[in-house]
Structure 1
Amino acid sequence: MAIPTRLLVFFSLLSLIVVGGHLYLYRRLFRDTGRSPLWRRTGAILMGVLGASLILSRPLMALAPSAAMSAFAQGSWYWMGVAAYLLLTMFAVGGARTLAGWIARRRAAPTNPAGNAAPVSEERREFLARAGAGVALAATGGITGHGTWRAFHPPVVNEVAVKLPGLPKALDGVTIVQLSDIHVGPLIQRRFMDELVARTNALKGDLVCITGDLVDGSVEELGHAAAALRELRSRYGTYFCTGNHEYYSGDEEWTEALTRMGVTVLRNRHVRVGDAGASFDLVGVDDWAAARSGYPARGYDLSAAISGRDPSRASVLLAHQPAGWREQAQKAGLGLQLSGHTHGGQMFPFTLAVSAIWEHDAGIFREGDYSLYVSRGTGFWGPPVRVAAPPEIVKVTLLA
């Protein structure tokens, strides 16, 4: 299959950002902090290798999967988080130095009308560069250390109550445990999954719903880790809808594998949850972006998913992305949508960017009789770092 143009554009932009960022880090951490040719040459090589690891790790994993390549990919993910915060802290330190210089010039203006700054010696310039680099490295270490602990620490449990139109009185108080964006892969493996399953079972939900981006790899690579889902226990079972990362990992293969694990996969279809006396419809759709990811035959099809259902019945929609809640789910009369995808930004200050891009970035949203919950995700993607956006397990209580 041909590589989509949008993927080539994304990869090209990513490469430019990575190269530019590592050139800046080389300048601030090596060129400005020492005049030794060996020191600068070492820095250039180090920054070159680390930058290349960010660009090449994923293609190399796809071309030659192995234990060594997996370790290489893990290292590149860690470096991505460190590099992001190094850049931010170096920018902050540089800005502070610029501001301090401007203030000093303003104060000197009355006695120095020409505004000529006193020359700065090479030794002092080098000292300031080293001090700034030291501050940036210390700050980065503290931030990424805490963020890594938070990423691997047990997710917080957020509980929310939602009034669901049409829900039978007999089902008042039924609970859904939502997991989303676990991203089983090189860094999230069986031990993480076993602990997650145990914590999910402890919540004693009536059903478990996984709203996409479960995996980042093939069934052959990650089947053992994902098989922990067999141990999920709930009254009405476990349900799953695809996320965009399932299409990168083999959506059809994972559909079959999850079905063998006892997980009900909802791909543009609905099922009845409950019994003959009282029930509601659980609707699941494929990811919103599937067609744009090179899978035109598959993708979000809410019309197919709700075909044949009684519109007066209570309903819950599982859709990986919050996109389409107002335009699709509400118009179809679906009372509650459970989504993920955004990670809540995962890392400050990217949390601010996600809030600006996504109208519904994380948490509960209500409009009239309709509700949407967007999970920050239970795992992480990319850097194993969570800053100001902790992972979560969501327990939703449905009210009649």
Structure 2
Amino acid sequence: MSLRFIIFLSIFALINIYAFSRIITRWQWAKDHLVIAWLFVLLIFMLELLAPIGDRMFLPKLKDLPGMTWLYVSANWVSYTVFGMVTLLAAYGIVTDVVSVVWKFIAPPTEAVDMERRVLLTLGVLTVGSTVLGIGQAHAEPKVKEVKVPIKDLPESFEGFRIAQVSDLHVGPTIGRRFTQTVVDRVNALNADMVALTGDFIEGHVKDLREDTAPLAELKAAHGVYYVTGNHEYYWDVAGWTDEFEKMGFSVLINRHEKINVNGDEIAIGGVSDYSTRHYGKLHASSPSKAFEGVPQDMTKILLAHQPNSYKDAYDAGTHLQLSGHTHSGQYFPFSLLIPFFQRYYKGLNRHEDMWVYVNTGTGYWGPPMRTGVPSEITLLTLHRA
């Protein structure tokens, strides 16, 4: 069992312990029916546990049973939704606990029972309201965000060159073929010069998701479709997926580059494996310098790197523009307020020294099917001469 997985389970358990001990056990119903309440909590916890790790255990086998696909889909939706609701319940619970303490010092005395009812009602309304709003926003058609990027010494022939970026699609338990097709149609309608796919496109194995990802093969651009791996591809047989995407016609960039020629002018499009692979074997160890090996120093370099954290190595490699994803910008409130504490560059266009870093907030979503306050995004970047 990896250290990363142990840390995840520990945080996961702490969130549940807090949510259940501080909120559910305060219900009168739970106090009056301790055994039933405990079984209820255990059931919710097990459903929630299915969300992050279930697809690696028995849920795919459930899907393969005749006539059981509906149960597989339902189990995923319930578990992931509950997963999201409990994280919201814990987050809002912490806030109401703090407010309750402050309230006792600044407000007139209030009946304890009356205060308790108000707190529980507030928590319920906030959690349910955020969940409903988040699910609606997560499954709305992704908006196209247009961004202009001024690049010093950009070749004249590339003035107005347009790049459509899709990131963090996460096709899998609750994102299927219909949403994938919507994204593909939206991107193709932009008629961009090239398409950049910046990782975390799947949540499952090739054999289970081949039908749901099939529309991606329809992506088109005059100068090609380029793809780099995210950290999630390494959870689900990265070799199988890179082969699959190559069959779809993508240029899979793992620490290498390709050049785009327009009227005799050239720029280099480089790509690296996910930032987490820095300590992997030689082939997949993320390396922007290796990606641009042999590229003239004065040539415009655009790097596809799933995680924004690649920016330091990208800058050292002479990159002019880095395209990333990964952060989801927190994905849903209130976690969208916390992401700046974990990522220096977490959304939009950022300047690092003489290099631009653009972070797509995610075209799909991971885990809980919600994007409260953080809408999904397809980016259309237009290059201009600075």
Q: Say whether the fold is shared (TM-score over 0.5).
A: yes
**What amino acid is the match of 2:13?**
S
- Contact 1:60-1:69 at 8 Å conserved across structures: no
The 5 Å alignment of 1:1-400 reads: 3-28=1-26, 30=27, 33-34=28-29, 37-38=32-33, 40-64=34-58, 65=60, 66-67=62-63, 68-104=71-107, 125=113, 128-275=115-262, 277-291=264-278, 298-325=284-311, 327-400=312-385
Q: Using a 3 Å threshold, how does the CA distance of structure 1 residues 264 and 25 change in structure 2: closer, same or farther?
A: same
Q: CA RMSD for the aligned pairs?
A: 2.3
CA distance in 2, matches of 1:132, 1:43: 20
Between stretches 81-90 and 231-240, larger displacement belongs to: 81-90
CA distance in 1, matches of 2:104, 2:18: 26
- Contact 1:18-1:54 at 8 Å conserved across structures: no
CA distance in 1, matches of 2:291, 2:31: 66
Match of 2:68?
none
SS at match of 1:373: strand
**What amino acid is the match of 2:325?**
G
**What amino acid is the match of 2:320?**
G
**1:340 Cα deviation from its structure 2 partner:** 0.6
Match of 1:111?
none
- Contact 1:378-1:392 at 8 Å conserved across structures: yes
Between stretches 258-267 and 366-375, larger displacement belongs to: 366-375
Structure-1-length-normalised TM-score: 0.87
**1:158 Cα deviation from its structure 2 partner:** 1.2
Q: Using a 3 Å threshold, how does the CA distance of structure 1 residues 139 and 331 change in structure 2: closer, same or farther?
A: same
SS at match of 2:171: coil
CA distance in 2, matches of 1:36, 1:173: 65
**What amino acid is the match of 2:291?**
A
Q: In the TM superposition, what whole-angstrom CA distance separates every residue of 1:375-397 from its partner, at most 9, and x where no partner exists?
A: 11111111111122211111110
CA distance in 1, matches of 2:52, 2:8: 14
**What amino acid is the match of 1:22?**
F
SS at match of 1:289: helix
- Larger Cα-atom Rg: 1
- Contact 1:211-1:319 at 8 Å conserved across structures: yes
Q: Using a 3 Å threshold, how does the CA distance of structure 1 residues 335 and 96 change in structure 2: closer, same or farther?
A: closer
Between stretches 301-310 and 235-244, larger displacement belongs to: 301-310
SS at match of 1:235: coil
**Poorly superposed stretches of 4+, deviation over 6 Å:** none
In structure 2, the gaps of 5 or more residues are: 64-70
SS at match of 2:121: helix
SS at match of 2:38: helix
**1:214 Cα deviation from its structure 2 partner:** 0.6
**1:16 Cα deviation from its structure 2 partner:** 3.2
CA distance in 2, matches of 1:90, 1:356: 21
| Percent pairwise identity | 32
SS at match of 1:324: helix
In structure 1, the gaps of 5 or more residues are: 109-117
Q: What is the aligned length?
A: 376
Q: Using a 3 Å threshold, how does the CA distance of structure 1 residues 103 and 246 change in structure 2: closer, same or farther?
A: same
CA distance in 1, matches of 2:96, 2:224: 52
Structure-2-length-normalised TM-score: 0.90
- Contact 1:159-1:396 at 8 Å conserved across structures: yes
CA distance in 2, matches of 1:56, 1:77: 8
SS at match of 2:245: helix
CA distance in 1, matches of 2:18, 2:31: 23
**1:45 Cα deviation from its structure 2 partner:** 1.9
**1:95 Cα deviation from its structure 2 partner:** 4.1
